[in-house]
Amino acid sequence: MISSRPSPRLLFGDGESRLLGVFGDPIAHSLSPKIHNLSLAYWDLNYRYLPFRVRPKNLEQALFGFRALGGVGFNATIPHKEALLPFMDQLSLTAKKVGAVNTVSIGPEGQFIGDNTDTYGFITVLKKQVSTVLEDKNILVLGAGGACRAVLVALLDEGCQHILLANRTRERAETLANHFSHGDPAKISTIPLDFTSLPLEEVDIIVNTTSLGLHGHDEFPLPAHRLPSHALLYDIVYSTQGTPLKRLAQKHRLTFVDGLDMLIHQAALAFKIWTGRDMPVEWVKGQLSNPGTKNE
């Protein structure tokens, strides 16, 4: 466990230091370096986890360069999760199902092993909040972009049978629904993203996977007064300033699940894959919310 003073090898590195990181573009906003380096320090593990701004055109070079430097593994975020697929020598079942990789390990023969820990992060946090079975819940998923894929795989794996998918571009929702429900409209049905006509009175859980409200809009346009009082709002988007959906949930006293929890739990599984250790999740959360810890 972490001591009051990090050891010199943790501060400065040495010939034994092992390399981890995250590839993304942009990457400056990412909390992953903080989450992983805190956990590495907690266990006094001689690794470094660095953010790498990798432009899409340089992804292949970055991948092989990272391996050449002796890297152990890395996370991938926007815009690389799907682009990494063809470079992987092995893929976990989850990464195959989602069609995206967010965790890469370099195997003993230098092989690239792709996994997806977003599904685990998403469902672990949801199951902590919902004590009864998820199968029978009416779940409304907003958005049908890349981030939605892991959510749908996780919900279907959990046996959920009443998923409504609403997206601004309806065809995108239909394509995803057909793909993941294998054409069974009973599992996932699509509806237009028209906030005035969404069947909110029937909904138990809303999962937001859109970037709605994050770019200059102040409010999330959901008429939350129509939701039942037990409804749970889950924003997989996170912001250290709080998201528009979080503010809406607080205003209407609805249970809210923060995307930051999902981020920490997906990181915990990646950490376990690379180091074999359990991430001290609650301790990391406490460190991140400590006012003395700067998150940007």
| Residues found near ligand ATR in the complex (CB under 6 A) | 78, 143-148, 167-169, 172, 193, 209-212
* CB nearer to ligand ATR: pick between 88 and 148: 148
Task: Copy the structure tokens of residue 28.
Answer: 């400056």
Complex with ligand ATR: residue 94 or 167, whichever CB lies closer: 167
The catalytically annotated residue of 34, 57, 81, 97 is: 81
> Quick check: is 187 catalytic?
no
Min separation Cβ 205 and ligand ATR, Å: 18
Closest approach of ligand ATR to the CB of residue 278, in Å: 28
Least distance between ligand ATR and beta carbon 147 (Å): 4
Q: How far is the CB of 98 from ligand ATR (least distance, A)?
A: 12
Closest to ligand ATR by CB, 40 or 261 = 261
Helix/strand/coil (H, E, C) string of the chain? CCCCCCCHHHHHCCCCCEEEEEEECCCCCCCHHHHHHHHHHHCCCCEEEEEEECCHHHHHHHHHHHHHCCCCEEEECCCCCCCCHHHCCEECHHHHHHCCCCEEEECCCCCEEEECCHHHHHHHHHHHHCCCCCCCCCEEEECCCHHHHHHHHHHHHCCCCCEEEEECCHHHHHHHHHHHHCCCCCCEEEEECCCCCCCHHHCCEEEECCCCCCCCCCCCCCCHHHCCCCCEEEECCCCCCCCHHHHHHHHCCCEEECHHHHHHHHHHHHHHHHHCCCCCHHHHHHHHHCCCCCCC
CB of 195 to ligand ATR, least distance (A): 9
Measured from the CB atom, the residue of 13 and 145 that comes closer to ligand ATR is: 145
* Nearest residue to ligand ATR, scored by beta-carbon proximity: 145
Residues in Cβ contact with 144 at an 8 Å cutoff, skipping those fewer than 6 apart: 165, 167, 169, 172, 173, 175, 176, 209
Residues shown for the chain = 296
Q: In angstroms, what is the minimal distance from the CB of 247 to ligand ATR?
A: 17
**Whose Cβ is closer to ligand ATR: residue 211's or residue 289's?**
211
**Cα–chain center distance at 68:** 28
**Residues belonging to the active site:** 81
